[in-house]
Structure 1
């Protein structure tokens, strides 16, 4: 029977819709407050919440709750059941249990990862989707990533699903790869696959928007580890083409990928040949703040070469005015990146003299938030919206989280240190503007 309060199957075989049984019991007991979710169709449910692939007799609007270690052992055993319905019910219940930390760690110790990988190419599309979603949740734990990557063919299997399966499976498989690629050690293991970067670049332009965003995030993490393979696969030209996309999310994440490519000296040479600084200038006036932050982040790397600085001199007035205006925003992330670009441009004497003559007073009066006015994210915190300091989860989707000054641990945000970095960079910028050569 399906228990609505635990959102899991408590009985191995069910002959009819469990909600019918629940409704009959409520009516026999003359319960006044009937559960609206037992009605057909279920009340208080948005149409957009309906998945295109779903398990039978499942109400997705119910909350999750575990039901003991014995039940977890049974779920682990039923993953290899010969009964397809029992196997599907076990996968659905497992998806609820892995969201609880204690149960997820217990299932990892039971080697549930190996059982999930064994049924990754199941004939039922729902099973394949549920397997990928379970692996995505398990990949958020260090022990889970170790178990997943200990299977040598896991990356090959996920890439096969991305290349050959339907859109729901592609999204789930890409989500699993994205979860794995957040770990730098996992990126090293993933890069052992000889075609992962090349295959992602092949499918990145002909897929749905939500899936393309996941592909780009995977590429960004892999390029942060090793940008050489992406550059050899013409990732620079593909990212340049994605700058023209109509969706601001794709443009923003494509610029983040570009910033990883421009860290390599080959990427900086390509940026000079394509006048990347001038291309990004058109995005500094975009209505999307995410595009502006990402564009300035790329410029912080594309303005390191001598050629780019002398090219920026040709449009010195327009470029410096835009950057100084953006420095006066209330977003410390944007301020930090704009100041870094201006410091890079100060190596050119003409730009430095222009800033000293016309913009020094404006830069000196740039206001930097205090730690009470900033919660560590690039977006403004709204009432009843769970953003800001995020100590328990890896990250919040759609919210740019500031990393620590050391390592790649995102569990704690050091707001004081970050704001002090912005203040120090402001003083460094003023010092760079006022710097005089020995000839002067």
Structure 2
């Protein structure tokens, strides 16, 4: 039977109807609210409670009970049912139940991942899509990631789906791989799979923009773990700088930043003159592109060659960076821009220029107080879920500032981050006023 409130199939039948208990509790508490779940006729649920996409052959009039652990064991068993319809219904129910933390962990203990491996190559595209969606949710739990990575064949199956399946399934498979790559231990296993970087780079060149963004996030995590193997991605990322989609450009720069953390990557950046290439991106109308560009520039300006190259555009470059330092609503941008200026101040001519023209304006840089900032570097305010409960909330696609040290390394600490911004401002002023022993 099917429960319309959870959009799930129910496998058990019991003599007690939970609506009776709900009614008794409501009457005892004297609640005077209208609950369409409890009041007759039951058919009134049809007008507002039905999902836009529901499982096949749904009989809404028979929905009565919720899941228990026994029900979860049954739907886990039905994943390998000989009846294709029962298999679809069980898979749909598992997808819904993994949204609930308690049920997701119980299903992980039942080794649901091992059952899903056999369904990843199923002939039905609906099953392949649902399996990837379930694995994405399971991969958000530590226990789930460990169970998934104990079977590296899952990664190979995901790569097969990413390279050969239809675009809907390529998207969910890319999302699953991206979720796994966020874990350091999983990144090590994924990086050791043969040709995975090459295959992802092939798909980046010709796939849809939304899928490309997911691949770039995966690559950024893999490159952060091992920056040597993916150095052949340098030219591909440089080509993506010309993409029309700002999100693709931004994430390509994030990947390039990870590459430039390596000494060979910085040498390549000098050869391709990345500091000059990035000049037009720091005046981009898209804030995300600017933040990624100055983040990349913080690594491209570490070499002596790049500093002397930046000297040729000293007026233009320093003026733009100092202006960006005054965007106090974006502490991440302030942090990165001031780091670039500190790097450039190693060049004596740029340091003298900064001392003569911009020292006073740099001292006037405003730093937000913790009351003015919710702890995120979120830049798109419309249509993106966010909140001010930053100490207990983790939001995908919104970079949350966290401690880098101490016993509470995973807990958001706005004060330490703002202190870090204030310290780098002091370092910048000190760098401007620094004098060589020759002077």
TM-score (normalizing by structure 1)? 0.87
In structure 2, the partner of 1:22 is: none
In structure 1, the partner of 2:161 is: 161
Deviation at 1:31, TM superposition (A): 5.9
CA distance in 2, matches of 1:384, 1:178: 20
Deviation at 1:6, TM superposition (A): 2.6
| Worse-matched range after superposition: 303-312 or 114-123 | 114-123
In structure 2, the partner of 1:268 is: 266
- Show CA shifts across 1:257-282 (max 9, x none): 11000001111011001110111110
Q: 2:281 aligns with which of 280, 283, 291?
A: 283
Counterparts of 1:385-404 in structure 2 under 5 Å?
385-390=385-390, 395-404=394-403
In structure 1, the partner of 2:377 is: 378
Residues 84 and 406 of structure 1, relative CA distance in 2, 3 Å threshold: farther
Partner secondary structure for residue 103 of structure 1: helix
Deviation at 1:171, TM superposition (A): 0.9
CA distance in 2, matches of 1:102, 1:378: 31
CA distance in 2, matches of 1:3, 1:327: 54
CA distance in 1, matches of 2:267, 2:56: 55
Partner secondary structure for residue 367 of structure 2: coil
Is the contact made by 1:360 and 1:430 (CA closer than 8 Å) also made in structure 2?
yes
Residues 249 and 126 of structure 1, relative CA distance in 2, 3 Å threshold: same
CA distance in 2, matches of 1:29, 1:71: 27
CA distance in 2, matches of 1:107, 1:392: 25
In structure 2, the partner of 1:207 is: 207
CA distance in 1, matches of 2:57, 2:149: 33
Q: Which runs of 5+ in 1 are unaligned?
A: 13-25, 60-64
CA distance in 2, matches of 1:76, 1:87: 10
Is the contact made by 2:11 and 2:71 (CA closer than 8 Å) also made in structure 1?
no
Counterparts of 1:43-192 in structure 2 under 5 Å?
55-57=55-57, 67-192=67-192
Deviation at 1:386, TM superposition (A): 2.9
Partner secondary structure for residue 175 of structure 2: helix
TM-score (normalizing by structure 2)? 0.87
Q: Within the alignment, does 1:423 sit opposite 2:434 as a pair?
A: no
In structure 2, the partner of 1:363 is: 362
Partner secondary structure for residue 189 of structure 1: helix
Q: Which runs of 5+ in 2 are unaligned?
A: 13-36, 60-64
Is the contact made by 2:219 and 2:255 (CA closer than 8 Å) also made in structure 1?
yes
Is the contact made by 1:149 and 1:186 (CA closer than 8 Å) also made in structure 2?
yes
Partner secondary structure for residue 315 of structure 1: helix
In structure 1, the partner of 2:327 is: 329
CA distance in 2, matches of 1:230, 1:58: 48
In structure 1, the partner of 2:234 is: 236
